[in-house]
């Protein structure tokens, strides 16, 4: 027996595929090195397990594992202002960065915003991690303050009318968007779901999230990694699973893919979250335009 263990240890240290190997009564468990995946279980004690390389540029593994699948490489979504900084290899995922004239000041960075263009000069230039800082116009600022004081009564009236309109129309519009595919695609096909993911995750059970991402292409090895990295935090597991799916899917048609895959009641809750935010943004934009027209 000591001779057998010594021979096994010597074989293991020379294996280009395995980083560790332990035996139970009827099987062996492999810990596979970076850039490879298991291609078959051990048939009996003493067999050499077979490992194969991940597909270069398409999938990777960046730590020891026991899976028969590699992880799909992430994409750098140009519609989110991202570009490739380092290509995906067998042992490393794609590394993204902001495109020229875009910045991102959050971590992790999921999308980049366009840099602001200054009318009255620049204090600090835009960088990959911070927006442009612009010089202000004193006379313009004074005019805005005067206009604000004059428009307070008008703003209050507009606010009350807008809130009343929201209460009357929000539910009908949302239900229409949730049940009518053409209407939903027309209005929400390219909505950026990134900022809504935490709220969406709150509405879903972990089993619903796992079923959704699995049906929409997420590798089982990636799901297992996320679950293991947040083993005692179910809320964070849901958020990270949805974020990784969204990063892989991209912005285009992500909303439709999500809501079409969920039960109607859950899809309507998510629709309500998104539509409420979009309605508020449109009301704010309309209010700003009305204020500018009065100047």
Its pTM stands at 0.42
The answer to whether residue 4 scores a pLDDT higher than 50 is: no
Quick one: fold of 2-72? Tumor Necrosis Factor Receptor, subunit A; domain 2 (2.10.50)
Tell me the DSSP string of 164-198.
HHHHHHHHHHHHHHHH-HHHHHHHHTT---GGGHH
Say how far apart CA 166 and CA 88 lie, in whole Å. 46
Q: What is the pLDDT of residues 157-169, one digit of tens each?
A: 888 888 776 555 4
Per-residue pLDDT, averaged over 230-243, amounts to 91
Cβ neighbour number for residue 30 with a 10 Å cutoff = 24
Contact criterion met (CB below 8 Å) for 64 and 34: yes
Both tokens of 147, joined, read 């206009």
What are the domain boundaries of the chain? Answer: 2-72, 78-134, 140-294
For domain 78-134, the question of CATH label 3.40.50 is answered with no
For domain 140-294, the question of CATH label 1.10.533.10 is answered with yes
Q: What is the pLDDT of residues 64-119, one digit of tens each?
A: 888 889 999 999 999 999 999 999 999 999 999 999 999 998 888 888 999 999 98
Name residue, tokens 């077979």: 50
State residue 204 phi and psi, 5-degree precision. Answer: -115, 145
Say how far apart CA 67 and CA 30 lie, in whole Å. 9
């Amino acid at each position: 027996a000591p001779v057998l263990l010594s021979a096994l240890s010597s074989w293991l240290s020379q294996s280009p595929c395995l980083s560790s190997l332990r035996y139970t009564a009827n099987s062996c468990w492999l810990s596979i090195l970076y850039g490879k995946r298991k291609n078959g279980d051990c048939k009996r004690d003493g067999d050499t397990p077979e490992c194969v390389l991940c597909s270069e540029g398409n999938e990777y593994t960046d730590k020891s594992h026991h899976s028969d699948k590699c992880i799909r490489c992430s994409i750098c979504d140009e519609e989110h202002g991202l570009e490739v900084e380092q290509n995906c290899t067998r042992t490393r995922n794609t590394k993204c960065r902001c495109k020229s004239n875009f910045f991102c000041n959050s971590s992790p960075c999921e999308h980049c915003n366009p840099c602001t263009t200054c009318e009255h000069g620049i204090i600090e230039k835009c960088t990959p991690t911070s927006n442009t800082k612009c010089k202000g116009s004193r006379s313009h600022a004074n005019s805005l303050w005067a206009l604000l004081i004059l428009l307070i009564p008008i703003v209050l009236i507009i606010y009350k009318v807008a809130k009343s309109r929201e209460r009357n129309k929000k539910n009908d519009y949302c239900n229409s968007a949730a049940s009518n595919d053409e209407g939903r695609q027309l209005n929400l096909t390219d909505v950026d779901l990134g900022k809504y993911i935490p709220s969406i995750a709150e509405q879903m059970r972990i089993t619903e999230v796992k079923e959704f991402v699995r049906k929409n292409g997420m590798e089982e090895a990636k799901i297992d990694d996320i679950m293991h990295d947040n083993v005692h935090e179910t809320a964070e597991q849901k958020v990270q699973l949805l974020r990784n799916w969204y990063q892989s899917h991209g912005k285009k048609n992500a909303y439709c893919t999500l809501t079409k895959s969920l039960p109607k009641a859950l899809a309507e809750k998510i629709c309500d979250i998104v539509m409420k935010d979009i309605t508020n943004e449109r009301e704010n934009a309309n209010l700003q335009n009305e204020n500018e027209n009065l100047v």
